[in-house]
Amino acid sequence: MKIGFFDSGIGGLSVLHHAMKILPQEEFIFFADEDNVPYGTKSPEEVLRFVDEAFKFLIAQEVSAIVVACNTATSVAVRKMREKYSLPIIGMEPALKVALDLFPNRKVLVTATAITITGEKIRRLIKKLHAENLAELKALSQLVEFAERQEFNSAAVEEYLRGELENYDLEKFSSLVLGCTHFNYFKDTLRKILPPHVKILDGNAGTVNELIRRTNLQSARAENLPSIKFFYSGRLVTDSAELARLEKFLRRLDEMEAIF
Q: Which of 173, 172, 184 is nearest to 144 (CA)?
A: 184
34: annotated active-site residue: no
Asked if residue 63 lies in contact with residue 87, where contact means CB atoms within 8 angstroms, the answer is yes
Which is catalytic among the residues 54, 68, 122, 180? Answer: 180
Identify each DSSP E strand in 65-223 by its residue range.
65-68, 89-90, 107-112, 135-139, 173-178, 199-202
Burial pattern 58-81, b for ≥16 Cβ within 10 A else e, equals beeeebebbbbbbbbbbbbbbeeb
Which is catalytic among the residues 70, 139, 143, 208? Answer: 70
CA atoms within 13 A on the CB side of 52: 13
Rounded distance between C-alpha atoms, residue 54 and residue 6, angstroms: 8
70: annotated active-site residue: yes
Amino acid at 111: T
Residues with catalytic function: 70, 180
